[in-house]
Amino acid sequence: MKKQTILPAKSINGGIELPGDKSISHRYGMLAGIAEGTSELRHFSAAADCHSTLACMRALGAEIKIEKDVVRVTGHGPRGLQAPRKALDAGNSGTTIRLLSGILAGQNFSTTISGDDSLQKRPMKRVVAPLRQMGAEIVARQEQFAPLEIHGARLRAISYEMPMASAQVKSAVLLAGLFAEGVTKVIEPARTRDHTELALEEFGAEIEHHGLTTTVRGLGIANGHGTITGRTLEVPGDLSSAVFFIAAASLFAESSLLIHNVGLNPTRTAILDFFLSMGADIKTPSLRTAHGEVVGDLAVKGAVLKGGIISGDTIPLLIDELPMLAALGPFTEQGIEFRDAAELRVKESDRIAALAENLRRMGATVEERPDGLRVEGRKAGKLHGAEIEPHGDHRIAMAFAIAGLAAEGKTVIRDADCAGVSFPTFYEELDRLVQG
Ligand code: S3P
């Protein structure tokens, strides 16, 4: 339960390479585990969440060797998983439990999967419902929470119109679709990140996506043919982690920061568009494509941020970045407001409540709403340092560490180590770049 002290800064300068993208690392780790042969996954995320996925894949029979950020996974093909000896532990990771449920639904054995206290409070009905439609038998605590007891079955392909915009739900159904007879179709109500689709393509599955509709052909497992094969893949840096440094650099006129090799998949860059719309100084000097994913460098300088409102279909495209934006609110001219973001209440913590509580601790003026938040801008007064309670949520801890740099006096982040869920070296990197 480490406490981290944050002192006022003058600017953010230098260069940084971020840990591998968390969303992509989860998908590569899972697909490598059900592929035939060895995959080499370079620049794999250091996040505790992604290591929860690797531990689950290992317990299911994949061979995994980890050397720094290179992970070698040897899978035994889509029929190669074995029943684990005990319940799988997804830790704090919603992506692990929800995506893996899709794979487990198609196995010829039963598995129990659970996670920490936070994960056991998060809604699982959203994946249980479509996987049941595909033929799996799933027992959930009170019909909606982990532990999930998943009795795998011969799955049937379905056409699933998703009731909510969620990449995790889409991915669970697509992964189950690999084990189903025929073509599984998913229709989204709004765009969400498409890393699963791109990763499936890389591993050799038959997948097509047009607009909001995605289809995947089952691997014909019941007939003993069809497979996906191990690959060498490089994970780009995590844009959701980069955002803490983009925010930090933007706050100070004298900042100049270069962020190398960041994933810039268009389903993730709504956050950059929003920063630009606020007047941020962000340039992308180079862009390339690797394994279907767009990758580039970001050059960030200090700027006066206007603030603004985010709502509707944009919310799912930058949901993980909302804590940082809210914590920036008091430093903007017009403040920051989110609407249609009730989903924030069922993330690693109730992020709307956690943001409102900690912003108030620092002296901000905040209106908390059932599906959003309004944070007043500069005119409402300067922020002062405070003791921050992240409620075990990595993104709350990191967002307030950045706010602390521009507040008056000392900020202390309680339980600061929770940042390791996505970014174990966050405070060291911040310390290296901060000019005090
Ligand atoms: C993720 C999807 C998002 C996001 C989460 C990671 C993913 O969740 O908030 O941190 O990797 O698919 P939802 O799909 O539930 O919105």
Question: Atom 13 of ligand 1 has which residue's CA nearest to it?
Answer: 166
Domains, the chain = 4-20+237-435 (3.65.10.10), 22-234 (3.65.10.10)
Q: Is 320 a catalytic residue?
A: yes
Ligand 1, residues at Cβ distance < 6 Å: 23, 26, 95, 166-168, 171, 192-193, 316, 319-320
Q: What is the mean pLDDT of residues 105-113?
A: 98
Residue 137 burial (CB count, 10 A) = 13
Note whether 325 and 272 are within 8 A (CB): no
What is the predicted pLDDT for the residue at 56?
Answer: 98
Distance 55 CA to ligand 1 centre (A): 20
pTM surpassing 0.95? Answer: yes
Point out the catalytic residue in the list 194, 297, 320, 417: 320
Assign 131 a pLDDT band (cuts: 50, 70, 90).
very high
Q: Which of 25, 95, 194, 314 to mutate to test the pocket of ligand 1 (most atoms within 8 A of CB)?
A: 95
Distance 193 CA to ligand 1 centre (A): 8
Q: What is the pLDDT of residues 374-408, one digit of tens each?
A: 999 999 999 999 999 999 999 999 999 999 999 99
Distance 141 CA to ligand 1 centre (A): 22
Q: What is the pLDDT of residues 242-282, one digit of tens each?
A: 999 999 999 999 999 999 999 999 999 999 999 999 999 99
* Residue partners of 51: CB distance under 8 A and separation at least 6: none
Question: Atom 11 of ligand 1 has which residue's CA nearest to it?
Answer: 23
Residue 23 burial (CB count, 10 A) = 29
Rounded Cα gap, residues 38 and 57, in angstroms: 14
